[in-house]
Amino acid sequence: MSSTAGEHRPENLVLGAVLTTVAFFCVALVAALAKVSAQYTSTGVLLLFQNLICLIFIAPVAWRGGRSALRTDKLGLHVVRAVTGTACWYALFFAITQLPLANATLLTYSAPLWMPLIAWAVTRQRVSRATWLGAGIGFVGILFVLQPQGHAFNIGELSALAGAVLLAVAMMSVRWLGATEPITRILFYYFLISAVLILPIAVLDWQPFPAQAWAWLIGLGVAHLLSQILIVVAYRYASAEKVGPFIYSVIVFTALIDWIVWDQRPTLFGYLGMALVIGGGLVAVRARGAVERTEA
């Protein structure tokens, strides 16, 4: 893993794209393992295991440089990232217990569609028409996923949508942190603060679980760790702007897992919704990248 902010190897877009796609396959595995593990224990316990396993790995790496490697003047932004990231995972894990895996993941990973709106609200940064168009297309896709179910929003859908907004804020905070902070420091503070935040909830929600649940919980943490490592390595070979669109592969992967494991086949409206969310997201990401290059 990179130890300095902005460090990267000569660009290799194909390798960067492959690594990013594999990373989000691991994210899809996290969602699937959370759905299985939820049969045995609470959402708080799932998140605690997820963060502790990652922290056990990243702490020795972060400490190699001594205390100076962990010194930061961006602690507030680290806290924002950890709070929104942890809350997003909590919302997604809860939504998975209420919805088909593919629907919960699609709604949560519509996060890039919310980023232009949040950026405009927070910074009053100019947003191009093409970006708004892409976001609008994606939001129509969300309606395709929700509306055909023939009922008002249920708590699972509201949770997944809340997770999308939280994920958008978390993604933006990572981007701001990445401008000055080393990758290992970002990951260390994220896993540490997240573990501390979720510990009281896990203690209150603790319930005994059978021995076989340990394998699922450890798998959950390892899959999450692999996703984080692969994303970091991918960004060393290609910029986040260029490989960012591959985030949408998680929607395809979870739909396939949902179909194969739980026999939850997407409806026609579900397929249309996925296509519109992915297509709109790609339009928005490319338009945002073009504006940033023009202003640079």
| Whole-number average pLDDT of the chain | 82
Q: Which residue has the higher pLDDT, 46 or 13?
A: 46
Query: Is 167 a residue whose pLDDT tops 70?
Result: yes
pTM: 0.82
Residue range 108-129: average pLDDT? 76
What percent of the residues of the chain are helix, what percent strand, and what percent coil, each to the nearest 5? Answer: 80, 0, 20
pLDDT at res. 4: 40
Residue range 178-186: average pLDDT? 83
pLDDT at res. 193: 96
Q: Which residue has the higher pLDDT, 273 or 47?
A: 47
Cα 117 to Cα 165: distance, rounded to the nearest angstrom: 10
Query: Is 294 a residue whose pLDDT tops 50?
Result: no
238 to 102, 182, 228, 243, 287: CA distances (angstroms): 28, 17, 16, 7, 18
Cα 291 to Cα 71: distance, rounded to the nearest angstrom: 34
Task: Spell out a b/e string for 114-137, using b for 16 or more CB atoms within 10 Å of the CB, else e.
Answer: bbbbebeeeeeeebeeebbebbeb
DSSP-derived 3-state class of residue 109:
coil
Question: 168 with 118: CB under 8 angstroms?
Answer: yes
Query: Is 218 a residue whose pLDDT tops 80?
Result: yes
pLDDT at res. 263: 87
pLDDT at res. 196: 96
Cα 64 to Cα 263: distance, rounded to the nearest angstrom: 47
- List, for residues 276-293, the tens digit of each pLDDT value: 887 877 776 666 555 455
Give 200's contacts (C-beta < 8 A, 6+ positions apart): none
pLDDT interval class at 3 (50, 70, 90): very low
Query: Is 261 a residue whose pLDDT tops 80?
Result: yes
